[in-house]
A and B are shown apart, each in its own frame.
Chain A
Amino acid sequence: DVKVTQSSRYLVKRTGEKVFLECVQDMDHENMFWYRQDPGLGLRLIYFSYDVKMKEKGDIPEGYSVSREKKERFSLILESASTNQTSMYLCATRGSRRGYTFGSGTRLTVV
């Protein structure tokens, strides 16, 4: 089975900090995604990447950037964390038409 590993389950950061969320997959999938999940809003796409060093903005990219230097690793960067970025962040990979495989999520709290 595909494994998608997010490095942290819980993070607490201060406003203004630069935050890195890491995601690693082990199945050589080309497509990787970062979503945030908020109550009542569902999953919203932040950024995705369909190849190494390629990235595309999703629906809510403001305040975020990403890095894909290697195929297996897709990092989400909060350049200057703000309280409205408190959320559950989910990384996903896609290798076939049968949807995504998600990581366990990182619950980020910005104080």
Chain B
Amino acid sequence: GESVGLHLPTLSVQEGDNSIINCAYSNSASDYFIWYKQESGKGPQFIIDIRSNMDKRQGQRVTVLLNKTVKHLSLQIAATQPGDSAVYFCAEYSGTYKYIFGTGTRLKVLA
């Protein structure tokens, strides 16, 4: 069946380093993907999105890469800061109003 998954449940990075969070998806027909950030005690917040006709999209300190050949999505955070500590998860648009969400990766930023 369809699934969206993450390779690493927890990622620890040194402050100032770059972070890379990965996501695998299984539905090759999905045409839209989103990364969300969820801080403790809060609801998920939109970070960045990408459509399937793109390979890369950049935002402020964040970049999303899409590899449709291997059905892989990644989120890169440049110069990771303590405020980046959160759970990150990807979402895949499956049509009919719904998204499929990954289980999440916890990013810990070490001082």
Binding site for B on A (CB under 8 A): 4, 9, 31, 33, 40-43, 45, 48, 50, 58, 90, 92, 94, 97-105
Contacts and interface: CB of A to CB of B under 8 A. Distances in A.
A98 B97 contact: no
5 contacts: A9-B41, A41-B103, A42-B4, A42-B89, A99-B46
Chain B interface helix/strand/loop/mixed: strand
Contacts of A97: 32, 93
Contact of A42 (B34, B45, B46, B101): B101
A99 to B, nearest CB: 4
A83 B93 CA distance: 31
A92 to B, nearest CB: 8
Interface residues of B, number: 21
Given A43-B101, A99-B49, 18 more contacts: A4-B43, A33-B97, A41-B103, A42-B4, A42-B101, A43-B44, A45-B98, A48-B98, A90-B43, A90-B44, A97-B93, A98-B46, A99-B91, A99-B99, A102-B44, A102-B45, A104-B43, A105-B43
B89 A105 contact: no
A99 B34 contact: yes
Interface in B86-111: 89, 91, 93, 97-99, 101-104
Interface of B: 4, 32, 34, 36, 41-46, 49, 89, 91, 93, 97-99, 101-104
A42 B103 contact: yes
Contacts of A92: 43
Contacts of A33: 97
B43 A50 contact: no
- Which residue, B45, B89, B97, B99, has most C-beta atoms of chain A within 10 A? B97
- Which residue, A40, A42, A58, has most C-beta atoms of chain B within 10 A? A42
